[in-house]
Structures are given as C-alpha cells and as structure tokens.
Structure 1
Amino acid sequence: MSQDVCVGSPDLPITSTRLIVDVDTGIDDALALLYLLASPEADIAAVLCTAGNVPVGQVTANTLAVLDMCGRADIEVAAGAQVPLVAPLMTTEDTHGPLGVGYAEFPATSRAPSSRSAAEAWVELTREHPGELTGLVTGPMTNLALAVRMDPELPQRLRRLVIMGGCFNHPGNTTPTSEWNVAVDPEAAREVFDAFSGLPSRQHPIVCPLDTTETIEMHPVHVDRIAEASESTPAEALSPDDPRGQRSRASNQVVRHLSDALRFYMEFHRDQNLGYLAHVHDPFAAAVALGTVPYTTTPATVDVELEGRLTRGTTIADWTGIWRREPNAAIVTATHPEVFFEHLTARVGAFARNLKLPSSNN
C-alpha cells in the first residue's frame, strides 16, 4: 500500500480554503464550526444541514445559533434532507442530547435559513466557483448524494472533498462494523463514493474514518486550556467527579456553551466505558480540510454494504486491488493527536477571547 504524508502547519503562510460545509450539527459538528470560524484559512461559502444526530430542523437551528453566537450571520445556512434516501431516519439524542448540543442552551436565532435547499446550494455554488471549493461533510451524505443526482458533473467541479465517515480496520460505533454517518444513509454514501470513481487522484475524497478519529480524544484538560486561553473566569475544570449535568459558570459565552456541550458528550463516553472523554471526530476532519494538521493517507477503493443482514452500512476498503477497480478515495490512516489539540485549543481559545462577548450568563 502506498501512503501520502500530508503535513499542514499553522506556522505556514495562510492559504485560504473556500468551503462548503455539510453538517448534522451535534456536539462535535458545533466544535468543528467553531474551529473553522476561528481559522483565518477558512472562507465558508455556506453551511448545509442534514438530518442525522437530530432532525434537520434542529440541526438548522443549532447551526444558525453557533454562527450567530460567533458574529457570522453573514454565512448562508441551507436546510436539506429530512430523511435518508431509502432508510427511516435514525437520530442519536442519547449521544448528543435532546437538542443535539448536550447541555448547551444557545439563544434562539431570529434568522431564517436560505430559500434554496442544501442540494441546490451544492450544485449552484460549484457551478459559480468551479475548481475552487472544498467540500467538508461531517454528517450523513444525503445532501451531497441528492446534489449529484441533480448534477452528475458536480464532483468534477470540486477542488476536493473531505468526509468524516466510515471505519475500515476498526470497530463501528453504530453496529459492530458500521460508523454513524454512513449507517444513517448507506445508499447516499455509496452514491457519493461511486460518483468520485474515475476522477484524478487529486480529486478523490479524503476520508477521515473512526480508525483515526477515535484517536482524537478530547479530555477535560483540553477544555481547561481553551478557557484559559480565552481569559474566561472562573477557571474551567471539568471533572468526572462533578455531578451529572453540572453547568459551566464561565464568563465567556463561547466557553460556557462549549463546556456544557462537551460535558454531556464526556458523560456519554464514560457511560459506554470509554472514559471521561469525547471523540471529536468532526473538528479533526475540518483541520484536514484546511491542511492545518499532519496526517497520512492511503489510497483505496471504497464501497458500502447495503444488503447484509448484519453488515448493512459497513464501509469496505480494497487496499490491494483485489476488486480490480481503481482507487476512489484517500483514507486517513494516521495523525498526531497531541499536535492537533495544541493547535485546536490555542486557536479556539484565542477566538473566544477576541470575540469580546458579554459576561452575562443569559
């Protein structure tokens, strides 16, 4: 298997990446959005919403709330698919909370989503900016699959696509062999991978699977570092000894909402006997899209099982050419979590500090 080592660094000259971001805003999607908003490399053309962690209406409300909190009401938010292509919708409030953002209580937004659908936005934005846009999908791939059905040439117009999804040599987190985003809509995932087959390798999707993203373990110390960098008071100190559901008293609104969201996520992981931590899959994929984190990729041919009684939603990678089909993806197989968290905590903390948000707990 050949490997490509891709080294990004926040110390390199800033190169702007224009993004279409497609989310099912739960806790780690919200942190990914916060990271992107904090990143000078990120130029967000639109944020598109799909049903996944919670229904699409709540996803859209969460997305608007995060952008509004960060002073970015200028970014288009488009609502998309309410249900997967074929299967009934699965949601995961047990993981992300009844509203999808843990214990966080964002102020209600007064802003309405875009008049166009998420699929229409995919098509129209890539027609307006051919070869310029990087797609980042951190939820099910339903919107993108619908867009490709509308315009099969869409993949050729993307500069690159980064996907958080799938697992290959790693246990699943939805079934023993399947990852959540793909398991919610396996048909959409297969259609997307098929749509990128035959393109040059530089346009193959970069896939961030559980194999790598479950090494991205956020611990209480990382939340503490964000709070410290933001100059929020009092000191933030999440602890497994805290009462379940305890709320943050942070003076900084971004820190307070982030802490309340991540506390729920850490409690969930502890309940699953994984430790008092949070796997923040989506911020890592966002950093890959921007090129600000070191990672290694391996080319493979990816397909999705649709029929298996026990294996539906499983992503399979042919690493060695057994299928005699050309690779259609670059799978992230390694990274450096400590480098990622040093970068993430400093960047998000500084962003929260510089927003100069009011100290009220309202």
Structure 2
Amino acid sequence: MAAFLLDVDTGIDDALALVYLAALPDTEFAAVTASPGNVDADQVARNTLALLELCGRPDVEVAIGARAPLSIPLLTTPETHGPQGIGHAVLPEPQGRLSPRNAVDLWIEKARGRPGELTALITAPLTNFALALRQEPDLPELLAGVVIMGGSFYYQGNTTPTAEWNTHVDPHAAKEVYAAYRGRPVDRLPVVCSLDTTERMELRPEHLRLLAEAAGASVPELVLPEQPEGQRSTSDNIVIRHLSDALRFYFEFHRLYDQGYLAHVHDFFAAGVAAGTLEYSARPATVDVEADSPLLAGTTVADFRGLWGFPPNARIVTDNNPAQAFTELVSTVGRLARERG
C-alpha cells in the first residue's frame, strides 16, 4: 500500500490530484495539510474535507499550519480558481471537522512514527514544508520520498515572466527547502514537477466526455467552448458533476489568457509521479530561488552543469507522457466515479 502525506492549497488542479489519488487502489492518506495559496488556508481546508468526503475518504485527518507566507503578505488567485478555489463547483458542506493539531507538528509526528514509509506530495507553496524542516532537519531521511509541484526553469512563468505560482507565493520558503536538501544523497532529493513539463498536461473537453463515459454517466458530459460561461453540469454522477463544474472554470480562465479552451492540470501530474503511475524522466540539478528581487521574486534557477560548485539538491522532471497520463486519469477516476454513483 502506498501511503502519502499531502500538503495542498486546494484549487482546481489540487482537487483533481486529490480525487485521482483517492481513486487509486491501496492508497492511504496519512494526513492532508492545508497551505495558503490559491485561497486562504481555512477555505483550502474546507475544500479538502469536502473533496475527501466526496471520494469516500471521510476519516482522513486534515490540518492547517501556516496562514501566511514566511516573510511576505499572502496573495491568492480567485481569478484562476474562483472565489472558493474550486471554480464553478459548489461542494456539499463537509461533515468532518478540521483537526485541532498544527499541520507542521502532524507531518513531523507521522514521519517520525513511520520512518521510510510515507511519500510527501506538496502541490502548494512550500510554507508548511519549510517550517517542518526547521523543526525536524532529518525529515528528508524520515520520508520515503518527496514530490514538489513548483518552479519554472527553461519555461515562461505563469505568475510573472519568470516565476511559477506556488514558488512566487512564498519564495523564501522555497529557498529554505532547497537549501535544506543540499548535500543529501541523490535518491533522497525531491522530485520537482515544474511548468516545463506540467504545462504539457493539457486536459480538454474530450477528456471530460471520456471520463463521464468511464463513470457510466447516463448522459454525455459536453463542456464546449460555445456554451455560456458558468453553465453547470447536469450529470447524474456526483463526482463527474463537481469535477466538470470545477474544470469548466479552468477552461474559461485559460481561454481568457489566450491558451485555448483547456486546463493545465499541474497537480494531477505531480500526484501521478508521487504514486509511481505516470511516466516521466528526471535529472539532478542544483536549484536556488530568488526571494527578494522586486523584478525576479519567485524565479527558480537550475544549475545542471555544476557551475556554482554546489551538489545537486533536486531532481527536475525533464520529460513526461501526457497521452499515457490522461488514459490513466480517465480509467482510474472513472472507476471511482462509477463506484460513488
């Protein structure tokens, strides 16, 4: 059984990642923690609890840690993910309660209690992870592995010309995390899913139609560019209905910024890397983050050739297989949606 520690800022692509992992057979969520990012930490936690219940995982402990970045004010992104973080979807109010524990303490307790067993997946700004590393510097040895969605190296940023969103929200945390991994063995280094490869994950209306078919929905799920913005799904399948409403908002956002009627599902790809279900290749590099420059804050830089003279501190994903990834997504999430009805 694969066991995960997740840190999320549930947004639309985090939501898809959560649903995908919940749909995999023999997966355990040791804990899911909320970082402020796409929306504030309280809304992240509500979204996460509701999604886990939607997927039949009501007993997962969900906790909040930091409520703001380490050194700068919080910037959220309602224009990208909607005011509640999940697009046009309106999830039922969660029945479960938020854990009273601090996310950072929870991560450390779980990692210490199960050394070498838990894979960490971080699809949010690195605030909570940086705080956990401050408190437990041996966390890299306690975790089975770490996968980070963040950064942009030889690719245009999606927040500034050079910066990716998660890193831009808390560049100081990202800088601390990469510094903490300097000098570690290569097999202990985090796998970094940056925009260079996550933006190849272009989910399109056709994938939603196939997903609904795999779920056994009674009517086709047709989310089309000529339809009115904000049109709601009428699917008889509850999982398909909520995913469709969330992703339609994402399609509309990408079209507004001249990227086409599609959704870059960054966090789903990172989830598949963490789960070992999606094809990818990676190269070691030394990564650093510009934290304080007004022009370049949040910019990630990778030294693949050792020009800085420092050892690698990350493994950067350099290639992936979108066709294989979406076949896997449709099959796996379709099965869960069929089971949930």
Band the TM-score falls in, shorter-chain normalisation:
over 0.9
Match of 2:120 in 1: 135
Distance in 2 of aligned mates of 1:268 and 1:258: 15
- For the pair 1:251 / 2:240, whether they are aligned, the reply is no
Compute the displacement of 1:309 (Å).
2.4
| Structural mapping, 1:165-314, within 5 Å | 165-314=150-299
Q: Deviations over 1:96-138 (max 9, x none)?
A: 0000000000000122111211111111111101111110000
- C-alpha contact (below 8 Å) 2:197/2:319 kept by paired residues: yes
Checking the alignment, whether the CA contact within 8 Å between 1:216 and 1:281 is kept in structure 2 is yes
Distance 1:106 1:181 in 2: 24
Determine if contact 2:6/2:121 at 8 Å carries over to the other structure: yes
Any residues of structure 2 matched to 1:68-147 within 5 Å, and which? Answer: 68-147=53-132
Q: For residue 352 of structure 1, what is the aligned residue in structure 2?
A: 337
State the Cα distance separating 1:43 from its structure 2 match.
1.8
Matching residue of 1:9: none
Identity of aligned residues (%): 53
Quote how far apart the aligned CAs of 1:42 are: 2.5
143, 158, 180: which is aligned to 1:158?
Answer: 143
Whether the aligned pair in 2 keeps the contact of 1:49 and 1:79 (CA below 8 Å) is: yes
Aligned residue-pair number: 341
Mapping for residues 27-106 of structure 1, pairs under 5 Å = 27-106=12-91
2:109 aligned counterpart, secondary structure: helix
CA contact (8 A) 1:295 1:335 kept: yes
Does the 8 Å contact 2:125/2:174 carry over to 1?
A: yes
Cα deviation per residue 1:328-356 (whole Å; 9 max; x = unaligned)? Answer: 11000101100100110111011100123
Contact 2:31 2:107 in 1 (8 A): no
Letter of the 2:162 counterpart? T
Amino acid at match of 1:264: F
Write out per-residue CA displacement over residues 213-252 of structure 1, whole angstroms, 9 at most, x where no aligned residue. Answer: 0000000000111101001122101100000110000000
SS of the equivalent of 2:301 reads strand
Runs of 4+ aligned residues of structure 1 deviating over 4 Å after TM superposition are none
